[in-house]
Amino acid sequence: MHVQYKRIMDISRSIYPGMVKWPGDQGFEVNRECTLEKGNVCNLSSVRMSVHTGTHVDAPFHFIAGGTTVAELDLSRFIGVARVFEINVQLCITGSDIEQLPIKENDIVLFKTSNSLIPYDGEFHKDYVYMDVSAAKYLIDKRIKAVGVDYLSIDGFYTEDYAVHKLLLSKGVGIIEGLMLKDVAEGSYFLSCLPLKLEGADGSPVRAVLLEI
């Protein structure tokens, strides 16, 4: 079977030492265990990082005791028809901001905001655009598969209870964070955004790509 598409768009953040990370998280480190320069038979590296580095997905276990781990996630949540919507708000996406959007059941909804203009090689930006509970409830009612945002958290930085994470994850809605949507136009695409099969983990970096169809 041949899938027809116009182009592949990589919407993943590059992972490298010094990139922006959530405050307190383990930064990305790479160690060259073997190198050809030193006479080894090959180049071989090991890495150390948070599972929430760069573009990543969250598993329910991230916020829910006994919740599904990333290795147990339903992969169909992270592959399929995706709709990119550009949302022009100052700080918070609410239910009223999205209730007029043509969101359909089983969509993967990706929100492009001013976050996409924030550089990932600078300081962590605390005042990023985030979602509130009313938006999360609306998306749950629409029975979407997953929602993606263009910074490192779907909740606001100053939240104390991470209510949006908990609500979405408890209802089986996939969460994708850290997307790079700066050069992506609004519209419908096919998304592939699969996590690594990390046993017992609460999240995983992903290589997220859109197929323009």
User: pLDDT per residue over 74-109, tens digit each?
Assistant: 999 999 999 999 999 999 999 999 999 999 999 999
On whether residue 79 sits in a domain, the answer given is yes
DSSP conformational letter for 22? -
* Greater model confidence, 120 or 192: 192
**Sign of the alpha-carbon dihedral angle for 181, 85, 129, 209:** negative
Tokens encoding 98 = 């999205």
Q: Where are the beta strands (DSSP E) in the chain?
A: 7-10, 29-34, 44-48, 56-58, 79-86, 92-93, 108-112, 130-131, 146-148, 174-177, 187-192, 203-205, 209-212
CA distance 104 to 122: 36
Report d(CA 184, CA 138) in Å as an integer. 24
- 157-195 pLDDT per residue, tens: 999 999 999 999 999 999 999 999 999 999 999 999 999
Q: 25 lies in a domain? A: no
- Contacting residues for 85 by C-beta, under 8 A, at least 6 apart: 98, 101, 109, 110, 111, 112, 186
Residue-wise pLDDT tens digits, 65-83? 999 999 999 999 999 999 9
What pLDDT, on the 0 to 100 scale, is given for residue 2?
67
**Which CATH number fits the domain that encloses residue 148?**
3.50.30.50
How many percent of the chain have pLDDT more than 90?
Answer: 95
Segment 12-27, tens digit of pLDDT: 999 999 999 999 999 9
Q: What is the mean pLDDT of the chain?
A: 97
Number of domains observed in the structure of the chain: 1
Locate 111 and state its tokens: 């929100």
Inter-axis angle of helices 133-141 and 163-170, to 10 degrees?
A: 10
pTM score, whole prediction? 0.97
Residue 120, pLDDT score: 87
Q: Which two tokens stand for residue 84?
A: 């990119």
> How many angstroms separate the CA atoms of 177 and 209, rounded?
13
Residue 58: inside a domain? yes
Q: Above 80 in pLDDT, residue 47?
A: yes
- What are the beta bridge partners of residue 130? 92
Is 33 within the bounds of a domain? no
Instruction: Measure the CA–CA gap between 104 and 18, rounded to whole angstroms.
Output: 39
Q: What is the pLDDT of residue 1?
A: 62
Mean pLDDT of 26-45: 98
List the catalytic residues.
Answer: 62
133 lies in some domain: yes
Q: Is residue 28, in this structure, part of any structural domain at all?
A: no
Q: Which structural domain range is residue 145 located in? A: 7-13+51-212
| Residue 153 maps to a domain | yes
Residue 31 lies in a domain: no
